[in-house]
């Protein structure tokens, strides 16, 4: 712990209540040589960006860092330095596991091997409200918009320099988890950390181009078809709007499954919408369900009860098909939740 | 001038080179009682938000402020306090005119009456590169992402308090002109000012809901149709992607013309796109043309030569129809520009 002063507008208050945990985590890291950093299944920009940002900072200290994610890795994060290093399986022993951006151990998927890791200390670094505090140490800040902000505060607290590569990884975490500073969870602190990451060399145009401006022409057509054909029903807090992307639509347009990223937020953007739901059929017949909601409506509970997770206004789950049955089951759950 | 210190991360350096103009403008304001604040034709969130933010700050000093805009006023800004006060025509005399967010006097449209205003001092507050310095005083900061940031710096320099209403107006200016902090023009300063506006009481969820999450279901269908039917041709710096929204499409879907706001940015978001162009047919037969470009491509020159204006990566113009002729003319101009 360097205890060096942080500049105003930073994450200075972020870990104020957790000084002991922050110091204890540093102690574990200091003594470890082989570290495993784990991102969650169905990874997003925050888990991948935060894990990479932390890995680069620790590698600069001479630590051996393995980044792992049970996958599937989304192509739109391919611009992040170190993206290609993620492994979907790990072997061997580690001195320390760092769990990045998830609320329970099952979110590590096949990466976590209980028999091998039973005695390996694990630091749980997360911002989800549903966090079960499963770590040896838990650094959980539920009021923070992204785990990347917590990682930034940790690097500051530990006195580790923020290179341009680290800054880009962490800014991607903040930017994606706040949907580009648009979610109600976005705080002045989120913007304050973003400023410091820009000043540390992260390029906002690089990030925006990579994350937002990468739809293929075929994807535009697919979006066009899905938007022309969305459906809705009224609820007490506003409309429930939903659309489905079938394997047939994806194949016909030659579009990869993760290209629909963003479509559900777009549906949510219709006036009077309380909840938007997007159903995406996977090649294996499972259906990925994404929820987005108006600020006043909480969808994290629905997703959690259906075996998924997420945040108040953005959550998701994956269910066995067929599509029609999933639509019926999920929409009934949404209706029930809204009528509570 | 109070000269009070500004806090770090603010617009402290923004007007550093213009201390005299800032002081002289304050002198003009101090001596004026009846002020006319003019927003530009085809107004956007920056001109309307900046004009309103400044008007509220000056009204708090007891000044009579008239806000004017030759229109048409976009419905999506209706949430801004004072939106309904905008007049499309003015009469009588004013002690001072404040021109907000435009580069030349013709952008005031019918609001500016040369005969009446010939001897009225005019303060030109703007951030466009094409600014002709047409004011009695010119406070022009071309490196700034939005005029709202300049207004914020002026209020700070003049020691005027920022109420929650003013903060919301100015944050709307920054947020819309940076497309939600996504344009390459976005700087740490833009985010720094945004932080202070949030801390002054602006609500980001209010703004995002009002500006982005207000599409009607019919609008979604219209977007779906336009996206399913976009066209493109390759150019040396990337693809030119374009789509047209006809009066027939608008009428059939019962959608207002300004509901297509955002569609051109969406087209621009396809991978490999250098320039996106959207053509929107007006009821009077004129065609509104919107340009968006990749960071490396400048479309302000094309728009300027066609009688419009704007920024490097976001510009527009309005041309007499018919639509097919406008498409041909504009696409030829784009092709020529890219082949330079």
On whether the CB atoms of residues B107 and B94 are closer than 8 A, the answer is no
Residue B233's SS3 state is: strand
CA distance A72 to A54: 21
- Block residue for tokens 């992307």: A245
Q: Mean pLDDT throughout B273-291?
A: 94
Q: What is the pLDDT of residue B9?
A: 42
Which candidate from A213, A227, A267 shows the least CB-CB separation from B221?
A227
Please name the residues in contact with A284: beta carbons below 8 A apart, sequence gap of 6 or more.
Answer: none
On chain A, the residues whose CB falls within 8 A of the CB of B225 are 224, 228
- Residue-wise pLDDT for A156-183, tens only, equals 999 999 999 999 999 999 999 998 998 8
Distance CA B103, CA B89 (A): 20
DSSP B162-229: --HHHHHHHHHHHHHHTTTTTSTT--HHHHHHHHHHHHTT--HHHHHHHHTS-B-HHHHHHHHHHHHT
Average pLDDT in chain B: 91
Q: Is the peptide bond before B336 cis (omega within 30 degrees of 0)?
A: no
Residues of chain B with CATH 3.10.310.30: 217-338
pLDDT confidence tier of residue A3, bands split at 50, 70 and 90: very low
In this complex, which of A195, A221, A223 lies closest to B192 when CB atoms are compared?
A195
Contacts with A140 (C-beta within 8 Å, 6 or more apart), sequence order: A124, A125, A126, A127, A128, A131, A133
Query: CB of B338 within 8 A of CB of B297?
Result: yes
Coil, helix or strand at residue B17: helix
Closest-CA residue of chain A to B262: A266
pLDDT, tens digit, 9 for 90 and up, residues A250-267: 999 888 887 887 889 888
- pLDDT of residue B12 exceeding 70, the answer is no
- Residue with tokens 């703007």, as numbered in its chain: B126
Question: Is residue B160 a contact partner of residue B56, using CB atoms and an 8 Å limit?
Answer: no
Average pLDDT taken over every residue of chain A: 91
Alpha carbon of A55: minimum distance to chain B alpha carbons (Å): 25
In this structure, the strands spanning A314-319 and A287-293 are antiparallel
- Tokens in use for B162? 């920022």
Q: Which residues pair with B124 in a beta bridge?
A: B99, B138
Q: Which residues of B touch A220 (CB under 8 A)?
A: 227, 230, 266-267, 270
Å from A134 to nearest chain B CA?
Answer: 33
Q: Which candidate, A144, A163, A91, A151, places its Cα nearest to that of A125? A: A151
Confidence of residue B3 (pLDDT cuts 50, 70, 90): very low
Whether B192 sits inside 8 A of A219 (CB atoms) is no
The predicted model gives B164-168 an average pLDDT of 98
Q: Which residues contact A339 (CB under 8 A, 6 or more apart)?
A: A235, A236
Q: Are A318 and A289 in contact (CB under 8 A)?
A: yes
The separation between the first and the last C-alpha atoms of chain A, rounded to the nearest angstrom, is 48
B205-255 pLDDT tens trace: 889 888 877 788 888 889 888 888 889 999 888 999 999 999 999 999 888
Does residue B134 sit in helix, strand or coil? Answer: coil
B116-133 per-position pLDDT tens digit: 888 999 999 999 988 999
Residue A8 pLDDT exceeds 80: no
Residue A12 confidence (pLDDT)? 59
B209's tokens: 């809901």
ipTM greater than 0.85, yes or no? no
Binary contact (A213, B186; C-beta < 8 A)? no
B271 → closest Cβ in A214, A221, A225: A214
Chain B residues with CB under 8 Å of A263 CB are: none
For helices A204-211 and A164-177, give the axis angle rounded to 10 degrees.
50
Nearest to B215 among A194, A209, A269 (CB): A269
Chain A residues touching residue B217 (CB < 8 angstroms): 230, 232, 241, 270
Chain B residue at shortest CA distance from A200: B188
B188 vs A209: CB contact, 8 Å cut-off? no
Neighbours of A321 (CB within 10 A): 15
CA dist B36 to A36, B40, B305, Å? 63, 13, 30
pLDDT at B4: 33
What is the pLDDT, as a whole number, of residue B11?
55
CB contact under 8 A, A219 and B181: no
Kindly give, in sequence order, each residue whose CB lies less than 8 Å from that of residue B261, ignoring residues fewer than 6 positions away.
B74, B76
Return the pLDDT at B271: 85
- pLDDT, position A38: 98
User: Could you report the per-residue pLDDT of B259-269, keeping only the tens digit for each?
Assistant: 887 889 889 88
- Return left, alpha or beta for B277; rule: phi > 0 is left, psi -120 to 50 is alpha, else beta: beta
Residue A132 has which token pair?
């079960």
CB pairs under 8 A between A and B: 127
Q: What is the DSSP letter of B136?
A: S
The whole-angstrom distance between residue A241's C-alpha and the CA centroid of its chain comes to 23
> Which of A5, A7, A224 is the best residue to mutate to test the B interface, defined by the most B CB atoms within 10 Å of its own CB?
A224
State whether A216 and B270 contact (CB < 8 Å): yes
Flag whether pLDDT at A11 surpasses 70. no
Partnered with residue B291 across adjacent β-strands are: B277, B315
Give chain B's end-to-end CA distance (angstroms, integer).
48
Mean pLDDT of A274-295: 94
Q: Degrees (nearest 5) of the Cα angle A202, B188, A313?
A: 80
- Nearest-by-Cβ selection for A8 from B7, B198, B223: B7
Angle at B145 between CA B192 and CA B315, to 5 degrees: 155
- Cβ-proximal residues to B177 (8 Å cutoff; 6+ apart), any chain: B44, B45, B46, B145, B146, B147, B148, B183, B185
Determine phi and psi for B306, rounding to 5 degrees: -95, 15
Domain span(s) for CATH 3.90.1640.10 in chain B: 16-211
What is the widest separation between alpha-carbon atoms in chain B? 57
* pLDDT tier, A7 (very low <50, low <70, confident <90, very high otherwise): very low
What is the CATH architecture assignment of A217-338? Roll (3.10)
| Choice among A314-328, B71-85, B203-217 with the minimum mean pLDDT | B203-217
- Could you report the per-residue pLDDT of A47-87, keeping only the tens digit for each? 999 999 999 999 999 999 999 999 889 888 999 999 999 99
B188, A199: Cβ pair inside 8 Å? Answer: yes
What letters, b where the CB count within 10 A reaches 16 and e where it falls short, cover B171-190?
Answer: bbbbbbbbbbbbbbbbbbbb
Measure CB to CB from residue A182 to each of B8, B9, B180 and give the nearest one. B180
A204, A209, A214 ranked by CB distance to B186: nearest: A204
Q: Is the confidence at residue B188, as pLDDT, over 80?
A: yes
Q: Please determine, looking at this structure, whether the domain spanning B16-211 carries the CATH number 3.90.1640.10.
A: yes
Question: Which helix (H) or strand (E) element contains residue B244?
Answer: strand B238-245
B181 neighbourhood in chain A, CB within 8 Å: 180-181, 204
Q: How many residues does chain A have?
A: 340
Q: Give yes or no for a contact between A321 and A287, defined as CB atoms under 8 angstroms apart.
A: yes
Alpha-carbon distances, residue B264 vs A103, B226, B259, B289, B313 (angstroms): 39, 10, 12, 10, 12
Q: A191 and B198: CB-CB below 8 Å?
A: yes
Find the range with the poorest average confidence among A151-155, A194-198, B168-172, B235-239.
B235-239
Instruction: Report the alpha-carbon angle A29-A31-A37, nearest 5.
Output: 35
Q: Which chain A residue has the Cα nearest residue B196?
A: A188
Q: Which residue of B has its CA nearest to A229?
A: B221
Query: What is the pLDDT at residue A82?
Result: 97
How many of the other CB atoms lie within 10 Å of CB of A319?
A: 17
Report the residue from A191, A216, A295 with minimal CB separation from B194: A191
CB B12 within 8 A of CB B6: yes
Residues 6+ apart with CB under 8 A from B114: none
Say whether B221 and A241 touch across the interface (CB within 8 A): no
- Crossing angle, helix A147-157 and helix A19-31, to 10 degrees? 70
| Distance, CA of B251 to chain centre | 27
Chain B residue whose CA is closest to A185: B205
Residue (of B11, B246, B253) closest to B146 by Cα position: B11
Do A241 and B209 lie within an 8 Å CB cutoff? no
Q: Do B204 and A186 touch (CB under 8 A)?
A: yes
């Amino acid at each position: 712990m360097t205890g060096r002063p942080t500049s105003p507008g930073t994450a200075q208050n972020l870990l104020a209540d957790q000084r002991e945990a922050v110091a204890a985590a540093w102690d574990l890291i200091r003594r470890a040589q082989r570290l495993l950093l784990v991102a969650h299944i169905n990874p997003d920009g925050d888990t991948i960006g935060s894990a990479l940002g932390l890995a680069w900072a620790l590698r600069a200290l001479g630590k051996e860092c393995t980044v792992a994610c049970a996958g599937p890795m989304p192509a739109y994060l391919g611009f992040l330095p170190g993206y290609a290093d993620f492994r979907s399986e790990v072997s061997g022993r580690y001195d320390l596991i760092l769990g990045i951006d998830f609320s329970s151990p099952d979110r590590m998927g096949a990466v976590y091997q209980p028999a091998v890791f039973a005695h390996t200390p694990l630091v749980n670094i997360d911002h989800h409200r549903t966090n079960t505090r499963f770590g040896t140490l838990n650094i959980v800040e539920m009021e923070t918009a992204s785990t990347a902000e917590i990682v930034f505060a940790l690097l500051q607290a530990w006195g580790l320099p923020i290179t341009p590569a680290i800054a880009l990884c962490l800014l991607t975490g903040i930017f994606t988890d706040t949907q580009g500073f648009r979610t109600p969870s976005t705080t002045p602190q989120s913007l304050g950390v973003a400023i410091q990451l820009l000043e540390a060399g992260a390029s906002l145009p690089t990030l925006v181009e990579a994350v937002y401006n990468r739809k293929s022409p075929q994807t535009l057509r697919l979006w066009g078809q899905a938007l022309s054909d969305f459906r809705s029903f009224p609820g007490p807090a506003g409309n429930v709007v939903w659309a489905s992307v079938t394997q047939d639509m994806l194949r016909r347009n030659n579009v990869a499954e993760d290209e629909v990223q963003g479509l559900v937020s777009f549906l949510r953007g219709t006036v009077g919408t309380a909840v938007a739901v997007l159903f995406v059929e996977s090649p294996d017949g499972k259906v990925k369900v994404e929820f987005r909601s108006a600020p006043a409506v909480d969808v994290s509970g629905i997703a959690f009860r259906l075996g998924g997770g997420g945040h108040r206004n953005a959550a998701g789950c994956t269910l066995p098909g067929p599509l029609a049955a999933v639509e019926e089951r999920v929409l009934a759950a949404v209706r029930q939740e809204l009528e509570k």
